[in-house]
């Protein structure tokens, strides 16, 4: 059953479920945080409207900087502002930031742990027709390897808004990745959100598999859960919105409970969510595990739904992985 303590949307499995952009969640969250703290500033690399930092810029023009197409400058300017007491949010497409400016992030932000919030929009396969050159599938790996860096991957509009507000309060560097497309708003204002603490979305008396998902794939995991339940297979679905710091306690607890794990992410399987979970369990409680994601390949142009199907990121793929890992567990 759905975990009622989280106060998820009553329309969670309905066709009436609201669809909204996570980018808007970020933009609205930044505006709200900026109204409460005048230290917050925003910078972008010629992508004000696309990354939704325009909401902030329209109200606080004196606290907004347009650096142009210069992503290295974007983060080094942000670093300097953080050094003098500001809380900068630096936005661009994920393929450019952190894709193009990783060394500047590492050196000018990571080493000194300056509280710069790096927002990588238009990430993943879902940007569709933009194609392989713009599909950031490596950004989680790039950012979680930097010491001092926190990594957030929200799963709907409200979670992106809450994450933005919470990041602004923490004087540490953050990276948050955001997709291009709209997605179901399955949480509510009452749904708890805490950086570093996973949300366990479902409950079961006899679960056989733990499904751990992040970003857009969380809702796909919920759809798989519902279908598997119809077929007598009970699962636990975990929204791991914080990739770093990793909620190892929750991961280990449910690995022990079910004895098998499936992870899914819209990212390379190398270095992302699946890698982080695998590293945790290999040290603490090894169990049979299936890692769904992009299997060491580049993306391509296409409609998001077609690309998800092509790369094995659908409800049906999760169901197959669950059945496969159960067979491995019982072998």
| Catalytic residue IDs | 71
Whether 22 contacts 219, CB under 8 Å: no
How many Cβ atoms sit within 10 Å of the Cβ of residue 317?
19
- The per-residue DSSP string of 117-154 comes to EEEEESBSGGGGGG-TTT-B-SHHHHHHTSTT-EEE--
Could you give the CA distance from residue 53 to residue 92 in angstroms, rounded to a whole number?
10
Q: Which residues of 94-133 are buried (b: 16+ CB within 10 A; e: fewer)?
A: bbbbbbbbbebbbebbbeeebbbbbbbbbbbbbbbebeee
Could you give the CA distance from residue 119 to residue 93 in angstroms, rounded to a whole number?
8
Q: How far out from the chain centre does Cα 210 lie?
A: 18
Could you give the CA distance from residue 313 to residue 186 in angstroms, rounded to a whole number?
19
Q: If we measure between CA atoms, which residue out of 127, 114, 180, 149 comes closest to residue 242?
A: 149
How many Cβ atoms sit within 10 Å of the Cβ of residue 35?
12
Q: If we measure between CA atoms, which residue out of 195, 157, 183, 197 comes closest to residue 29?
A: 157
Whether 191 contacts 6, CB under 8 Å: yes
């Amino acid at each position: 059953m759905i975990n009622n303590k989280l106060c998820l949307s009553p329309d969670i499995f309905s066709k009436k479920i609201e669809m909204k952009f996570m980018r808007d969640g970020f933009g609205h969250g930044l505006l709200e945080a900026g109204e409460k703290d005048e230290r917050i500033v925003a910078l972008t690399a010629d992508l004000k409207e696309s990354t939704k930092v325009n909401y902030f810029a329209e109200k606080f023009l004196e606290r907004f900087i347009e650096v142009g197409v210069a992503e290295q400058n974007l983060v080094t300017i942000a670093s300097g502002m953080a050094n003098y007491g500001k809380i900068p949010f630096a936005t661009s497409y994920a393929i450019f930031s952190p894709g193009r400016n990783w060394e500047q992030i590492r050196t000018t932000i990571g080493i000194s742990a300056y509280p710069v919030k790096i927002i990588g929009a238009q990430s993943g396969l879902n940007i569709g027709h933009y194609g392989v050159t713009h599909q950031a599938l490596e950004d989680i790996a790039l950012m979680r390897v930097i010491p001092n860096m926190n990594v957030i991957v929200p799963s709907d509009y409200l979670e992106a808004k809450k994450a933005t507000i919470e990041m602004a309060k923490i004087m540490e560097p953050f990276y948050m990745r955001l997709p291009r497309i709209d997605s179901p708003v399955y949480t509510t204002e009452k749904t708890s959100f805490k950086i570093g603490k996973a949300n366990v979305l479902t409950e079961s008396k006899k679960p056989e598999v733990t499904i751990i998902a992040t970003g857009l794939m969380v809702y796909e995991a919920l759809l798989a859960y519902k279908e598997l339940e119809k077929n007598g297979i009970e699962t636990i679905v975990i929204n791991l919105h914080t990739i770093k710091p990793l909620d190892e306690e929750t991961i280990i607890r449910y690995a022990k409970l079910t004895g098998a794990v499936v992870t899914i992410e819209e990212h390379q399987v190398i270095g992302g969510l699946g890698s982080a979970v695998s590293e945790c369990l290999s040290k603490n409680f090894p169990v049979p595990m299936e890692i769904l994601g992009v299997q060491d390949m580049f993306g391509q142009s296409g409609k998001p739904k077609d690309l998800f199907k092509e790369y094995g990121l659908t409800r049906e793929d999760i169901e197959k992985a669950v059945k496969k890992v159960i067979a491995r567990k019982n072998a």
